[in-house]
Amino acid sequence: MKALIATLVVMMLGGCASNGQSPWAALTTPGQCAKPGSEQELALNLADDLANEGKLHASLANLQNLPDALPQVRQRKARAYRLLGRSEAEPLYRSLLGTCMTAEGEHGLGQLAATHGDAAQALAHLQRAARLAPTDEKIRNDLGVVYLKQQRLEDARFEFMTAIELKQDDPLAAFNLVTLLIYQDDWGQAAKVVSQLGLSPEQVTEAQARAQKLKGSSTAAHNVAAASDAPPMNLR
């Protein structure tokens, strides 16, 4: 019996070399994620708080003692590594595909592809992420940014509006929508969005500056903010 168990373990861990699957693929499956223990949950929340404050190295340090078998751990590590520009992010995001956090894996891969200038791959990943998690405002916002980069303005507007209606207290999609409206010279609608959603004068000035860059060159769309991370993702 012990020999059989050992053989199964070797097969599970060897899957990465033979079929391209993550070594964690056998440990997590699509559906609901297993709930972390109370101490693990505290460590994950602390890692989130540190990452949101921009303390990415500290966030990673707080994740080191948590088991990588938990997809929630891998997703947070991937996010921190992505924001630090490190190569460890991509395999961690790929390890989430086919698990209970497939949408988060597709989202992260889309963000990485956008950062690397691969608009086609970014669009494919983010569209899949949006199908899997249609009410995630961060995904919808980032998908809108990719559409904006491709000059698919109505599609971009639809995604920004969706993100805003899903979470009205998040100013990022509102900022992107105002940028788009100014780019289209729709000043009346832009003013209405600014008034309704309470954007600051500084945000409006920045949106106007980015809209002008957008008009000057199609590649300037890379400067539009995306993903409510710290710092925000730039498509470049």
- 207, 175 Cβ separation under 8 angstroms: yes
pLDDT at 235 (0 to 100): 37
CATH architecture, domain defined by 135-228: Alpha Horseshoe (1.25)
pLDDT at 213 (0 to 100): 85
Average pLDDT score, the chain:
82
| Helices of type H across the chain | 2-19, 38-52, 56-63, 71-83, 89-94, 102-115, 119-132, 137-149, 153-166, 171-183, 187-197, 201-216
Report d(CA 113, CA 90) in Å as an integer: 10
pLDDT at 31 (0 to 100): 63
Report d(CA 18, CA 221) in Å as an integer: 41
The structure's pTM equals 0.78
Domain ranges, ordered by start, for the chain: 40-134, 135-228
- pLDDT digit string (tens) for 26-53? 444 456 788 888 899 999 999 999 999 9
Whether 219 has a pLDDT exceeding 80, the answer reads no
User: Which one, of 120, 181, 171, lies nearest residue 146 by Cα?
Assistant: 120
Secondary structure letter of residue 225 according to DSSP:
E
Which DSSP string do the residues of 32-47 spell out, in sequence order? SPPPPPHHHHHHHHHH
Place of tokens 């209970």: 100
pLDDT at 214 (0 to 100): 82
Report d(CA 90, CA 84) in Å as an integer: 12
Q: Give 92 or 149, the one with higher predicted confidence.
A: 92
pLDDT at 147 (0 to 100): 94
What burial class does residue 16 get, using C-beta atoms within 10 Å of its C-beta: 0-12 exposed, 13-18 middle, 19+ buried?
middle
- pLDDT digit string (tens) for 126-171? 999 999 999 999 999 999 999 998 889 999 999 999 999 999 887 8
Fold of 40-134: 1.25.40
Report d(CA 194, CA 211) in Å as an integer: 15
Whether 217 has a pLDDT exceeding 90, the answer reads no
pLDDT at 191 (0 to 100): 92
